[in-house]
Structure 1
Amino acid sequence: MSLFAGTSSYYRQYRPGIPEEVATVLDRAVAPGRPRRLLDIGTGTGLVAEALLGRFDDIIAIDNDPDMLAAAEEALRSQLPGGASLALVESTAEDFKAPASWQADLVTICRAFHWLDQATVLALLDEQVAPGGAVAVFGDNSFWAADSPWKQSVRAVVQSFLGEERRAGNSTFKHHDRPYSEIMEESPFNQVEEIRVPVHRTWSTKGILGYLYSTSFAAPHLFGDRLGAFEAAVENALAQHSTDDVFPEDNEFLIRIGRRGTA
């Protein structure tokens, strides 16, 4: 079973998209010539590819979850600019083979690097990234980080139903104790730049539940017949923090852009 089994509809509707400021950073990471080729690894429902439509005209987006790819197809195909190309490929990053002579100007890995065999994937990308190209590893903080009182309450409810350890589907999440930049510095893309983009959001109870159901640590199937009780517990916990169903969040995207070092 996929780590994200049953989450694709929630993911598409409730996962925050890629802010324009982040899309601009990614756009400026590589030269503006044409054709511009993008490889989006772990595309999910296509949020990164969607943010970069019109900035790259030859896009390959990969994911190993067919339901996620179906949601991406439905969302993106009608938005594709004239003359642009989009291929959605069911594959892991470790198994992906680019078309003959195809090399990406930019590779994006958003909210997915922790699921990969990181050193292996970065080594494979050396053949798949064009000269002068870049690899961008980025993401914002998960609710699991619980950096505000209302998030702490939500996490406590999840833990009360599913256990103290963060779930990853039917197993537990394996934490990485090394900074991603350090891992990238040991790869062919060892010249690493870090850029932080702050983001402010507001949430509702419905949006928070939808977000939780988009994750591997609170996917609906994990609760079985206790899903209704879980929803009620989350609603009760959130009611202690707001009387108008508005929950502010200050978050940030940390973008790591890796390029090959000069000889």
Structure 2
Amino acid sequence: MNTFAGTSAYYRRFRPGIPVAVAALLDQAAPRDSPRRLLDIGTGPGLVVQALLPYFDDLIAVDAEVTMLTEAEALLRPAIDAAHQLQLHHAIAENFLPPEGWHPHLVTCGRVFQRLNQPCFLDRLSEYMAPEGVIAVFSDRSLWTADSPWQQATREVVQDFLGQPRRAGGGTFSTSGPLYEEVLRASAFSHVTSTAVPVRRHWKIPQVLGYLYSTPFAAPHLFDDRRDAFEQAVTNALAPFADSGVLTEDNAFTVLTARRPFANVDR
């Protein structure tokens, strides 16, 4: 079973995407060639590409799940004008090769980096990245790992219905392995910078439910005929924390940008 089976439509509607400040940070990190090229790995429904459209002309989005690419097509294609080129590729990141002569200036990789064979992917990336190109690996805390009282209460409801382990497709989620920064430093892209970007979000309870259904650990099919009961349990658990129906989340994106050590960082 695909890790994100049954979640793609919810992912597009209810995932918040990346903040403007993160998009601006990525813009500043990448070289300014023309045409300026972006490769988004594990694009999902295209939220990162959408945020970076103002900064790049030539964009490729890659995902291993066809349903996610369908959502990305629906989100991105209407925003593409004559000044942009967009390609969507169904591929595994470790095997992907761009068209001959196409060299990205920025490669973005969100939470999908956790699921990759990271050394293999970075080795392949070094074959086609532009000489001064940058890879950015970033994510915020998911609801599973966030620590506010209302988020803890939500996680407890999920665990009441589905058990204590964090689901991931047909298995469970594992956090084993070296830190991302260590993996990057051991690759061709060993010049690594880490930046934290705070973000505050406001949610209503139906949006929280939509977000949950966009995740592998609370995908809709996992609840079978108990979905109505689950939604009611989440609503009951969150109601005491909502201020005029709104739940506040304080989060932060950790953004790692990495380049070859000989690349010019004073553009």
TM range (shorter): over 0.9
| Distance (whole Å) between structure 2 residues aligned to residue 58 and residue 3 of structure 1 | 29
Could you tell me which amino acid in structure 1 is paired with residue 95 of structure 2?
A: D
| Distance (whole Å) between structure 1 residues aligned to residue 237 and residue 54 of structure 2 | 42
Could you tell me which amino acid in structure 2 is paired with residue 3 of structure 1?
A: T
- Structure-to-structure mapping, 1:65-144, within 5 angstroms: 65-144=65-144
Identical aligned pairs, as a percentage? 51
Could you tell me which amino acid in structure 1 is paired with residue 28 of structure 2?
A: R
Could you tell me which amino acid in structure 1 is paired with residue 152 of structure 2?
A: Q
Contact 2:38 2:105 in 1 (8 A): yes
How many residue pairs get matched? 263
Contact 1:53 1:81 in 2 (8 A): no
TM-aligned CA deviation for residue 177 of structure 1: 4.4
Measured against aligned partners, the alpha-carbon deviations of 1:219-252 in whole angstroms (never above 9, x if no partner) come to: 0011111111111111111013225221100001
Tell me the residue number matched to 1:153: 153
Could you tell me which amino acid in structure 2 is paired with residue 132 of structure 1?
A: E
| Distance (whole Å) between structure 1 residues aligned to residue 29 and residue 102 of structure 2 | 19
Measured against aligned partners, the alpha-carbon deviations of 1:191-229 in whole angstroms (never above 9, x if no partner) come to: 100111100001110010000000011000111111111
| Distance (whole Å) between structure 2 residues aligned to residue 81 and residue 192 of structure 1 | 34
Secondary structure of residue in 2 paired with 1:160: helix
TM-aligned CA deviation for residue 13 of structure 1: 0.6
Contact 2:95 2:124 in 1 (8 A): no
Change (3 A) 1:243 1:193: closer
Could you tell me which amino acid in structure 1 is paired with residue 63 of structure 2?
A: D
Contact 1:59 1:86 in 2 (8 A): yes
| Distance (whole Å) between structure 2 residues aligned to residue 146 and residue 110 of structure 1 | 17
TM-aligned CA deviation for residue 31 of structure 1: 1.8
Contact 1:150 1:238 in 2 (8 A): yes
TM-aligned CA deviation for residue 9 of structure 1: 1.0
Tell me the residue number matched to 1:197: 197
| Distance (whole Å) between structure 2 residues aligned to residue 179 and residue 228 of structure 1 | 39
TM-aligned CA deviation for residue 169 of structure 1: 1.6
| Distance (whole Å) between structure 1 residues aligned to residue 243 and residue 143 of structure 2 | 21
Change (3 A) 1:243 1:28: closer
Tell me the residue number matched to 2:30: 30
Secondary structure of residue in 2 paired with 1:202: strand
Tell me the residue number matched to 2:247: 247
TM-aligned CA deviation for residue 118 of structure 1: 0.9
Could you tell me which amino acid in structure 2 is paired with residue 165 of structure 1?
A: P
TM-score normalised per structure 2: 0.96
TM-aligned CA deviation for residue 170 of structure 1: 1.8
| Distance (whole Å) between structure 2 residues aligned to residue 172 and residue 183 of structure 1 | 23
Tell me the residue number matched to 1:236: 236
Contact 1:114 1:176 in 2 (8 A): no
Measured against aligned partners, the alpha-carbon deviations of 1:38-84 in whole angstroms (never above 9, x if no partner) come to: 11000000000001113111111000111110111011011013231
Tell me the residue number matched to 2:47: 47
TM-aligned CA deviation for residue 262 of structure 1: 2.3
Contact 1:197 1:253 in 2 (8 A): yes
Q: Which runs of 4+ in 1 moved over 6 A?
A: none
| Distance (whole Å) between structure 1 residues aligned to residue 78 and residue 139 of structure 2 | 26
TM-aligned CA deviation for residue 124 of structure 1: 0.8
TM-aligned CA deviation for residue 6 of structure 1: 1.1
| Distance (whole Å) between structure 2 residues aligned to residue 140 and residue 193 of structure 1 | 16
TM-aligned CA deviation for residue 33 of structure 1: 2.1
Unaligned runs of 5+ in 2: none
Tell me the residue number matched to 2:64: 64
